[in-house]
Structure formats: structure tokens, C-alpha cells
Structure 1
């Protein structure tokens, strides 16, 4: 980067955010070692400010990058509250990948997943452009719908109970846009992407929780009622803000949002006597007003005042809104045993976890192989700690709720014959 551009960027971006970036192969989510990652400011993409290589786990070292002042994301502002970066990723045998517009917020950790495809032809590359955040860019406002859907009783079956899907199929456009691409996206990844696209990771945790619960409940209403499939479409949900949430292909997520989604992902919002998850609609509350819906900026201010997530939600949707838990989680080999597993634990659940960690270690060589004996000893604890470090979880060595389901999901990803991307 030339001196004038660098000086201007440092003036505009006096704070810093953290970047975690990891590179995977589209074949069974294997980490890609020794990939080259060039980082540049999106406003000056030809001037590289960092160049690093991935390790055996497909990860680059954490990097601190300049970002705008924190106050820009704490209240509506004409100033863009995040810096935009471009990543050029290359590795022999794979198509090059460019990701531009990745968002770095101050005092927040951005997590960028980059998926490389085996080389199709010499010089081939993929270009992902991340659009503006919905609180900063211009997007169509939500077309209002009834929050509870009439259930078809003619035999066109909807789900009999609320199930967390393994995948949702996202139509990347409005429902009638036949040129828009459909993406198979893991449910948790979808929620993390939408929340990172629609609220700021710098906001209070309870504000993030309230918004994540609203996003999940809306999504599960689409799943439960098979809303689009019953209209003849082959997808679960769209990326159009006029109809659904804003989902952005290839975008980075944020650690604070990811952590809360992992904590809450089997929850949704209910009203008494209503079986289906509530279609919790919302707007920003600044450019667009939406009486009786949650406003994102309003939820932020209530979080600042110390309101809990359910208090924030009830403030907007009424006092008869409740948090419920899904009966089943699809695509998971084994359900959460109901309590954390630690030194001294034993039995079939421990044996299963040991087998799964060993399978994951085949793809992630930094993860040590362990004996499959059904006893949670020191070696198992060390393997769990290493797994947590690799996948961005608190390295406690204890298999808590979030760690259990992360192990299940990674295990499925690395052992499936043909992973959907």
C-alpha cells in the first residue's frame, strides 16, 4: 500500500479488530495447509498489507487490522462502522479465491471461512463480493406477513414437531428469481451468517441473543410450515430482505455472534397454544419503522439498559412470548447427554466422543489420537482442549453443550463421502 493510502486508512481507522481466517477444501471440509493468503484494504486491493500461509489446520495466525471508531457501530451514523478487506487465497491444485468486502469491526473478532475448489482449469478462480451490511446499505424493507401461518389440513403435510434441520436451502434472491442460485447451508452457519449481516457484533450480548432468537424462530417457522415448498419452490428460505433475512454467500461471521448461536441454536420463540415457531419479523427502527415488531436499534438500546433477551423480545412482541426448545436436532449422530463431560466421566458417550475425535484427527493432524476406552482421562481432556482451540471454543477441556455439538458437526463434515457446499 502506498504511504498516502496507508496514512489515510490509519486516520479513518484508529481502532483495531481481529481476523481469524481458515481455508478448507470443498472435498469433505479438509483443511488446506500452506495456502497463501494475501490481505489488502478493499479500497486499494492491489496493495498487499499482509501475506501469510495456513498451518496444518488450514489456519493463519490471528491478525490485528485497522478498523473505524467503536462509536460508529453504537448508534446510527452516516459513517461506515466497519473496515472492508480483500483476501486473495491460492494453493497449487486449487482454483484461486478472492473474497472482497470482508468486514472488520473494532474490538471484535471476525472469522472468515474460505473454501477452495480443486482446480477446474489453469487460471480459474472464484470471486466472492460481500455486499454492505444491512444497517449501513440500502435494502428493501420486509413485506409484512401474519406471524402465525394457517396450517394446511388437506394432507399436504407439514412437520408434526419442531426439528432443527441439518441444512437449509437458501435461494440467493427473491422467490421468483429463477436465475438466483440455491445454496445448501448448515443451519447454525446460516443463523450466524444472517446475524452477522443484520446486527453489529459490538452490541450487548443480550441484544445479540434477542436478535438471534428472532432470526432462528423466523427460520424455523419457514422450515416447520414448509412455506416455500408448499408454493412449489425447492428451497427453504430466500436471501431477500423483502421476504426473509439477509444471507450473504461467503461472508465472514463474528466470534461474539457465533458463540451465542452455539449457546442457543435449538431454541425458538413460542406463544401459548401455538405449535409452530413464531414468524418474528423486525426492522432497523431507523430508516424503517415497524409497529409491533422488534427494531434492531431499539433492541440495542434496551441491551444497553441491562434488559435480558426475553425482556427485549417481550418489549416488542408482547408479554406472552416464550423461549421454547426443539424436540430434535437433525444430522447429529448422538444427542447431548444432558450434562458436561469431564475427567472421571465414563461410558458409551465417552467412547463415542473418543471415536469421533480420532476421525476428526485424520483430517486435522494437530489433534492427537487417543485410546478408545470409554474413560475420560487426561489424554481425552488434552484432545478436547486441542479441538476447542482449533475450532474457536473456550479451551476448558470439558465437553459442554457447545463443544458436544461442534464435535458432532465437524465429525459429520469430515466423514461424509461428499460434503454439500
Structure 2
């Protein structure tokens, strides 16, 4: 066994604000026939709604470096309780060796609660296996270039745009009883990548898989694939049609930081095509997919030192080009194009200072700063604290990934979403 790590973040499901003083218990999920045991008991969330850096047993890293019959991650149950809210259990939180897992736990006020429960007074989220280990249907092959929607479609896009939300249908397209979830775009990509690949893989392998996932998803958005078939969602959670999405699953820092860095990058083929490539893939062991990326193959190329561009060109062809979505919707101000750091000044610094101060009302551990448009040491310290809470590298500078994560949290804590999380 090796050490893995877990941070639990507890939030109010309606306001997205952290809940201080919640009780967190962690239980082991043993193999069949063994008894569960309590690993951590009566932990208390801090002012950021978190318990951080919990050390947990995980299988040896070798089991995630090659196909194996041994589950390469440990599974735990996270239980959260506090007066005034329904108790929540997350059953199956995954912990890999050497990697920080981050489990968000949304709590529903007892007054607002209207869900059905599998236990009395408890809401239970069941987290399924990673696709590389579990049993899921293989992707049904389809053309990687789609007809574009007519001008009368649901939305008309001149260029690919990163949407604020992805509407995920949690089942087969024709299953009308399956729920639709409104998931912020970045969180959706992180969820899929955490469900489709292993967080212990080489960084460039993770980059290549994330870009493929982004391209596939943006193709579904840009071509309105399901909308034009009469459905009211963007994409499904089934591997036969799209990629695996597991509602409220834990994420991994090694994957999160890559998504934050590159969530608007996609590939196209041929270069004259406007639409992102429907970048299909498979594991390459349990199923095969000629002329598409294999996940284990991308891992082997990463082990050989190939960068993400070389990996993706190997599978999808030398003619692919890499582009960035020119507009990111759903954020107050787009990234200015250059990193903000000590010595920077101007309106973009003031924007960040304003957003950090607004976030600090919900996350009081973040020091408030003077909104003067001057990036001094106090602003850098506030940024570092934000980065620590939200799992970003603690550089104290506002680069692309930090800018958009600050924007995401700012929108979440200052705007009570008018969209229902399930429809």
C-alpha cells in the first residue's frame, strides 16, 4: 500500500457557499466479504468548508501504470452531517497513491430538501468505477465531422465557444426518466477525465486526453448534435455515445490543474473545418478503435517522453491543428492575455481584487485587499490563499487557469443560479 490524500469540501447546494462546522467521517470500502471500518471520525470543516490533506491507504502505483485485474485505487465513504441539513454519504470516493483527491459534498437544507433517499434522512451518492477498471459499453463509432445546424437551431455559433454549462443527460438518449444535470463546463471536463483515465499517468498523457475530451464535448455543443434530434440536453453520460460522467464524483489535483490550464483548447481536422474534432477514443485493451486514440496507448507514449501534441498527432493524424475557443461565455471578464503579478497594475488587477474581496465574504480565510488596481504583496497573498483552497499551484500570480477559477468561484458565490441543477 501507498499513501493517497483526500480533501473534503462541504458546500450549501443552493448558495455554493462553504459550510463551516460540519462533521465529516471517513469509512473504508473493503473488498467483498470484509467489514467496513472508520478511518477518520468527527472531523470538523474549517471556515472554507474543508478538511484537508487526509492521508489514506491506496494500492501500489504499479497497478495504475498498466492494465490490471487489481483495482488501482481505494474506495471510501464520506459522511457529512450538520444541524439544519440532510446528512450526505458519498459512497465510492476514489483515492490513488501519491495524488490528492478532492471530494465536494453539497448539502441540502432540510427546508429545501425534496429528493428521494436510499436511507432515511440521508442522501447517498454512489460513485461508479473508472472506465479503465469497470465494465462499460464501448463507444459506438460515428463520423468525427458533423453537419452543422441550420440557422434556426437552438443557438447559432460562428466559432466554437466554451459554454457556461453542459447539460448532461444521465442515461441513454431515449431514456426520458434519466435526469439532466447542469454542470459548469470546466467541472464537467474534470469529471469526465477523472472517470476515463488514471490520475497517476504522465502529465503529457493527461493533457492529450483532456484536449480530446474538450474537443469531443465542444463538437457536441457546436453542432447541437442532440438538440437537433429533439432532445433537451448537450451530451449523455453513457460511454456508448459519449464519455463517462459520474454525478458528484471526486476529482484529482493532477487532472484539475491540466483542465484549468487548457480547457478552451481543441483540435480540428481538416484545418478548413470550423468545428472541433469529435475526438473519439477507447481504452485499447478491452476495446479497439482504429484511427482513434487509445488511452493506454497515450499512456505508453507519455512514458516515452512524447508531448501532448505528438501524442494527439500520432492517433488523429499530422494534419490536425490546435485552436483555442475565442470566447469563454459565462465569465464577467475574459483573461487579458498576460499573467498578473507583483508590479502589475490597471483595470484587470482591479477586477481580480474586486472578485477576491467578493469571494472572501464567503471564504473568510482569503485576506481582503485594497481595490486600487496595483498588484502588491497583499494581493499576491490573497491569490495564494485562494489557490490553496481551490487546489491550484500556489504561485501568487494570476495566470490563465487562476483567472478563470477566480471567475468561476466569483460567479458561484455572488449569483444564486436561476437554473435548477436537475431538470
Q: TM-score range with shorter-chain normalisation?
A: over 0.9
1:11 matched to which residue of 2?
none
- Decide whether aligned partners of structure 1 residues 45 and 372 sit closer, same or farther in structure 2, where only a CA change above 3 A counts: farther
> CA contact under 8 A between 1:28 and 1:419: conserved in structure 2?
no
> What CA distance in whole angstroms lies between the structure 1 residues aligned with 2:10 and 2:418?
15
CA deviation after TM superposition for structure 1 residue 392, in Å: 1.3
> What CA distance in whole angstroms lies between the structure 1 residues aligned with 2:378 and 2:2?
41
Matches within 5 A, 1:318-337: 318-337=317-336
> CA contact under 8 A between 1:29 and 1:419: conserved in structure 2?
no
SS at match of 2:358: helix
1:32 matched to which residue of 2?
19
Q: What is the aligned counterpart of 1:256 among 248, 254, 257? A: 254
Deviations, residues 358-413 of structure 1 (Å, cap 9, x unaligned): 11011011112221111112221221111111111122211111111111111000
> Do residues 99 (structure 1) and 93 (structure 2) align?
no
CA deviation after TM superposition for structure 1 residue 154, in Å: 6.5
- Decide whether aligned partners of structure 1 residues 412 and 373 sit closer, same or farther in structure 2, where only a CA change above 3 A counts: same
> CA contact under 8 A between 2:149 and 2:228: conserved in structure 1?
no
Deviations, residues 104-135 of structure 1 (Å, cap 9, x unaligned): 11111111111111114795221000011100
TM-score normalized by the length of structure 1: 0.94
1:316 matched to which residue of 2?
315
Matches within 5 A, 1:98-247: 98-120=89-111, 124-153=121-150, 155-156=152-153, 158-247=156-245
2:70 matched to which residue of 1?
79
> What CA distance in whole angstroms lies between the structure 2 residues aligned with 1:47 and 1:63?
16
SS at match of 1:358: helix
Q: Which sits farther off after the overlay, 183-192 or 104-113?
A: 104-113
Structure 2 unaligned regions, length at least 5:
115-119
TM-score normalized by the length of structure 2: 0.94
Deviations, residues 5-64 of structure 1 (Å, cap 9, x unaligned): xxxxxxxxx111111111111122110101111101112675311021110000103111
> CA contact under 8 A between 1:381 and 1:398: conserved in structure 2?
yes
> Do residues 49 (structure 1) and 39 (structure 2) align?
yes
> What CA distance in whole angstroms lies between the structure 2 residues aligned with 1:351 and 1:324?
29
> What CA distance in whole angstroms lies between the structure 2 residues aligned with 1:168 and 1:75?
32
Q: Which sits farther off after the overlay, 366-375 or 179-188?
A: 366-375
SS at match of 2:137: coil
Deviations, residues 257-316 of structure 1 (Å, cap 9, x unaligned): 000001101111112111000000011000101111100011100110011111111111
CA deviation after TM superposition for structure 1 residue 152, in Å: 3.9
Structure 1 unaligned regions, length at least 5:
1-13
1:6 matched to which residue of 2?
none
1:395 matched to which residue of 2?
394
Equivalenced residue count is 408
Over the aligned positions, Cα root-mean-square deviation in angstroms equals 1.5
